Chains A and B, each alone.
Chain A
Amino acid sequence: MSNLQVSIYRYNPETDSAPYMQEFQVDTKGRDVMVLDVLHMMKEQDSGLAFRRSCREGVCGSDGMNMNGKNGLACITPLSEVVKGNKLTLRPLPGLPVIRDMVVDMGLFYKQYERIQPYLQNDTPVPAIERLQSPEERDKLDGLYECILCACCSTSCPSFWWNPDKFVGPAGLLQSYRFLADSRDTATSERLTDLEDPFSVFRCRGIMNCVAVCPKGLNPTRAIGKIREMLLADAT
Chain B
Amino acid sequence: MVTNITSFGRSGLSDWLMQRFSAVVLAIYTVFMVAYLLLNPNLDYYAWTALFDQTWMRIFSLLAFISVAAHAWIGLWTVTTDYLKSTFVRVGAQSLIILAIFVYLVWGIQILWGA
Contacts and interface: CB of A to CB of B under 8 A. Distances in A.
**Do the two chains touch directly in the complex (Cβ atoms below 8 Å apart)?**
yes
A163 interface: yes
Interface stretch (A53-61, A97-105, A195-203): A195-203
Interface stretch (A5-13, A85-93, A227-235): A227-235
B7 A198 contact: yes
If over half of B's interface residues share one DSSP class (helix, strand or loop), that class is named, otherwise mixed; here it is: helix
Contact of B12 (A159, A163, A202): A202
B12 A199 contact: yes
Given A228-B16, A231-B13, A232-B17, A200 B1 contact: yes
Contacts of B1: 193-197, 200
B16 A197 contact: no
B110 interface: no
Size category, A interface: 10 to 19
Interface string B30-64: 00000000000000000000000000000000000
Interface residues of B, number: 16
Given A228-B16, A232-B13, A232-B17, A197 B82 contact: no
Contacts of A196: 1, 11-13
Looking at B11, B13, B17, which has the most chain A CB atoms within 10 Å of its CB?
Answer: B13
A122 B40 CA distance: 65
B2 A202 contact: no
Interface string A184-208: 0000000001111111111100000
B4 A198 contact: yes
A162 B16 contact: no
A229 to B, nearest CB: 11
B12 A197 contact: yes
A197 B3 contact: yes
Given A166-B2, A193-B1, A232-B17, A198 B12 contact: yes
Interface in A2-51: none
Interface in A102-136: none
A199 B83 contact: no
A162 B82 CA distance: 5
A196 B1 CA distance: 7
A116 to B, nearest CB: 11
A235 B16 CA distance: 12
Looking at A162, A163, A197, which has the most chain B CB atoms within 10 Å of its CB?
Answer: A197
B82 A202 contact: no
15 contacts: A162-B82, A193-B1, A196-B1, A196-B12, A196-B13, A197-B4, A197-B12, A198-B2, A198-B11, A198-B15, A199-B2, A199-B81, A202-B16, A228-B13, A228-B16
